[in-house]
Structure 1
Amino acid sequence: MPGKLAAFLVFFASGAVLVLETVALRLVGPYVGVSLQVTSSVIGVALAAIAYGAWFGGWLADRFDPRRLVAGALVLAGIATAVTLPLVRLAGEALRGGAVPGILLLTMITIFVPALVLSAVPPMVVKLQLADLRRTGEVVGRLSSIGTLGAVTATLATGFVLVAALPSSVIMVGLAVSLAVAGVGVAVYLRQAPKTKVVAALAVLGVAGAALSVLAPNPCDVETAYHCAAVRVDPANPSGRVLFLNAAEHSYVDLKDPSHLQFAYTQWIGAVADLVKPRGERIDALHLGGGGFTVPRYVTATRPGSDNVVFEIDDRLIDLGERELAVREGPDLKAVAGDARMLIGGRADASADLVVGDAFGDLAVPWHLATKEMAQEIARVLRPNGIYAQNVIDYPPSRFIRAEVATVAAVFPHVALIAPPAAVDGKVGANFIIVASQQPLPLVALAEHLSDSSDEAVVVVFGAGLTDFIGGMQVLTDDFAPVDQLLILP
């Protein structure tokens, strides 16, 4: 095999594996989330496929003519890639949730077979390049280096360009077609025409994969750099819209009434906002996470003239809000695209009356927004009588929320917790709202306001009760914040 063709095949095959690995995170996210466990599963399964593929490819190369195998491997990998998309979407509905067995199985369906077949190509190519035993080290080292460069190039191109520009389905179909074309091209170049029956079988598989791709349900209206997003109409309210991110209900918006708060946790945040200043009086509010912009729209509607700034990491989510959720930017509502941890550093000291923490990666608060160092940044931004309200989701045994309360309490001297009684007792999972300030909180007024505005039973925990709830949990820091491990999904 000519050296340039060998280099191309190793570069291309290795790069295709990393395209699959990167896109796999987007394919499984709508069904099993985007937690650290999911990321670890994708990386682990991909590495296992690479290891077994290289071993199997080397074994085949010693027993059969690799020139007859390389082209077929590329075509087979293309078919496996094409079939992956419908298989994931069909299996994802059955494996939905964050259970570890479901995560591993769906990840294997997504990446294992095509990555294994592609990883068999480099050892076949190496076999064809070893014409001189005195240069085996040089040949193997060179091709190994080229394969690594292909993987690096594909990782950067997919993460920075492809995912931002194209839907995952287009990337997968494009990769499948590219692999098939490359396989046919190699077969023609090497004059290794496959048997007619083999061609017919591969053609049938390819057509079947394309048909399944068309019929498979797509859970996304919009694929952003971070989410599979969908907006659905509330059957009970024609102007109601529900925003789903990675298949989880994230926000509820009433297009006609921005002051309407449907979800209980948003009602609790609204009650906290009413403690900062009465309705009708302007406030300076900072929101860490936008989502459906429910609370920012509420502040704008109930407090005209407020300075209402939203830090939202997903710029396409901002576009979706403007297009379908009646988000209207103007003097009293400004959305800034970027990571809240980075953006808050540019915010002036004592510049906010209210900071709302409502940023989520799937169901978990991003770890770098849950640390003591982040809480210190929030305290710096708040005015002395300002209030921080942080939304947290957790499930029994409630380890994450207890650690997060301990973390916030390490920075703010006055802290309270709003939650359903059963969630405080560790019996059910729920939203929790942590309320913190440098000044004493008006707890009696908060409890009264919650009883009037909340649609479900809720308690305010503070003082000794809050200390008992924390129970000695460790404060989260930038050096140690195992959020995904603390949060156990049902």
Structure 2
Amino acid sequence: MSSSTPDVTAPADEVGPPPVRALPPGLAAFLVFFSSGAVLVLETVALRLVGPYVGVTLQVTSAVIGVALAAIAYGTWAGGWLADRRDPRPLLAPALLISAIATAVTLPIVRYAGEVLRGGAVSAVMLLTVLAVFVPAMLLSAVTPLVVKLQLADLRQTGQVVGKLSGIGTLGGITATLATGFVLVAALTSTTIVLATAVALAVVGVGLWVYLRRQDGVGRLPGPARTRATLAVLGLVGAGLTTVAPNPCDIETAYHCASVETDPDRASGRTLLLNSAQHSYVDLADPTHLEYAYTQWFGAVADVSAPAGARRDALHLGGGGFTVPRYLTATRPGTDNLVFEIDGGLVDLSREQLGLRTGPQLRAEVGDARILLGEEPSASRDLVFGDAFGHLVVPWHLATREMAAEIRRVLRPGGIYVQNVIDYAPLRFVRSELATVGAEFPHVALVAPPAALAGEWGSNFVLVASAQPLPLPALRARLDQLPERVSLLAGAELAEFVGDALVLTDDYAPVDQLLGAA
């Protein structure tokens, strides 16, 4: 009878994955910082990519953030799943290189798809946002769990490693967000930012591949040479298509994708488009020409606010093409027009292509209208024109009761506030804005097309308000001289229209939700 030593070798299916070599701490930190930062660059610039086609509204902003977070979630999960099944080292370089390719092809995909999906429908917003950010953000988000897996050599330090790399990734995202929002968007076009990001990803990916290959020979890109060549060609084609893809911008400012078109029916006419929506019309040869109906209503209020030719002190919240300031300068010589325009690039564009000439009688200050208004002296203006928009929406902080109170403070006792809003059936926003302005001004009127008041289509609506009785008979007579029939509501008729509409405040102003169909 013989004895033998028991076999204590574990079964083959119980043997864990072979140990992997950790990356140098500095390289691991860089990869997490860089990949997380690239995700936030793409998220920030995605709003600029989709804005010209679906607008820049709260819903669009929410869609970009939501899709980016979904991509981060899926990418992190997928990266962790792969890290537990394969050696992460040979996966890192391909993840960066494929991310570079996906980033490069984003521009032509969004621009061609945007022409098809143009409009503000929820489905169009979501689909275009997914095309703009999801794939490259998901691929880049897989890098962090791959790196974390490599660095977990000592289970006693798991919390320290995960916490440190998670913090570094967060810092990368914060840095990229601030740098993109404060520096890159102001200095570079969206095309340049996206392509530069793709190039940076490719450079880092190739550099990492070379480094790992020299270190341990596992850094080769997976797959046959034909696959690798196909991916490289795809990236180059994507970057090349960007040069021929339709670009809706003549110029990108810090806030807008802007273009200027010549009116085919009027040689001196120019239309300013912001994010592909008509914003202003200027006649270079005739500053008294008011093309759009709402500017004609603005002009009518200005015409009856004082005797013909009398100078006024006017404040304009929003410049755009500077149509109304030019009109006042031409019809009331000596008028002091002060324009608050948040977009300095738009002021420059108006000077270069729309005939704007600033000087003592027409001054432009770049900044947020709410902030600049607070610096204005009390009882210093005869007229205040509100015509500031983010795409088709009045910025919420310019639509509240507190804002109306500031406007009343700046107006002289007999001064008039004129505000342009856009709304669609069931007209919840214009009713709320009337209630809001009416909470501060005792005398309010509304100018609008009869069909729009009946909810048949969306339109511009012009609110007129004052601390003293408005010159309604003179305004009615002046409006009757315009080419299109228009309604003027005031008194009991206006009160019935407003009903129990919500008064908007700084604490609660759901402007985007009120605008449009229920």
| TM-score, normalization by structure 2 | 0.93
Residue among 471, 474, 478 paired with 2:506:
478
- Match of 1:105? 127
The AA in structure 2 aligned to 1:381 is V
- Match of 2:220? 193
- Whether 2:178 is the aligned partner of 1:156: answer yes
Larger gyration radius, structure 1 or structure 2: 2
The AA in structure 1 aligned to 2:493 is G
Residue among 321, 329, 339 paired with 1:292:
321
Residue 355 of structure 1 aligns to a residue whose secondary structure is strand
Q: How many pairs align?
A: 489
Alignment of structure 1 residues 204-283 onto 2, 5 Å:
204-283=233-312
Whole-Å separation in 1 of the counterparts to 2:126 and 2:102: 18
Give yes or no for contact 1:99–1:489 (8 Å, CA) kept in 2.
Answer: no
- Match of 1:465? 493
Whole-Å separation in 2 of the counterparts to 1:398 and 1:427: 10
1:279 CA drift (Å): 3.2
The AA in structure 1 aligned to 2:237 is A
Whole-Å separation in 2 of the counterparts to 1:190 and 1:404: 62
Whole-Å separation in 1 of the counterparts to 2:460 and 2:238: 41
- Match of 1:146? 168
Whole-Å separation in 1 of the counterparts to 2:274 and 2:372: 23
- 1:161-181 deviation line (CA, Å, top 9, x unaligned): 000000000000000000011
Residue 237 of structure 1 aligns to a residue whose secondary structure is coil
- Match of 1:121? 143
1:201 CA drift (Å): 1.6
Residue 444 of structure 2 aligns to a residue whose secondary structure is strand
- Match of 1:424? 453
Residue 243 of structure 2 aligns to a residue whose secondary structure is helix
1:400 CA drift (Å): 0.2
The AA in structure 2 aligned to 1:127 is K
1:376 CA drift (Å): 0.3
When structure 1 is superposed on structure 2, of 381-390 and 421-430 the one drifting more is 421-430
1:157 CA drift (Å): 0.3
- Match of 2:71? 49
Residue among 44, 62, 67 paired with 1:40:
62
Pairwise CA RMSD: 0.9
| Percent identity over paired residues | 68
1:489 CA drift (Å): 6.5
1:196 CA drift (Å): 2.4
When structure 1 is superposed on structure 2, of 208-217 and 167-176 the one drifting more is 208-217
Instruction: Flag structure 2 segments of 5+ consecutive residues without an equivalent.
Output: 1-22, 214-218
Whole-Å separation in 1 of the counterparts to 2:166 and 2:125: 31
Give yes or no for contact 2:305–2:471 (8 Å, CA) kept in 1.
Answer: no
Residue among 443, 459, 474 paired with 1:414:
443
- Match of 2:112? 90
- 1:166-212 deviation line (CA, Å, top 9, x unaligned): 00000000000000110000000000122523331221111210121
1:313 CA drift (Å): 0.4
- Match of 1:16? 38
Residue 310 of structure 1 aligns to a residue whose secondary structure is strand
Whole-Å separation in 2 of the counterparts to 1:468 and 1:299: 34
Instruction: Flag structure 1 segments of 5+ consecutive residues without an equivalent.
Output: none
Per the alignment, do residues 160 and 489 of structure 1 end up closer, same or farther by CA in structure 2, a change over 3 Å counting?
A: farther
- Match of 2:516? 488
Give yes or no for contact 1:391–1:434 (8 Å, CA) kept in 2.
Answer: yes
When structure 1 is superposed on structure 2, of 193-202 and 123-132 the one drifting more is 193-202
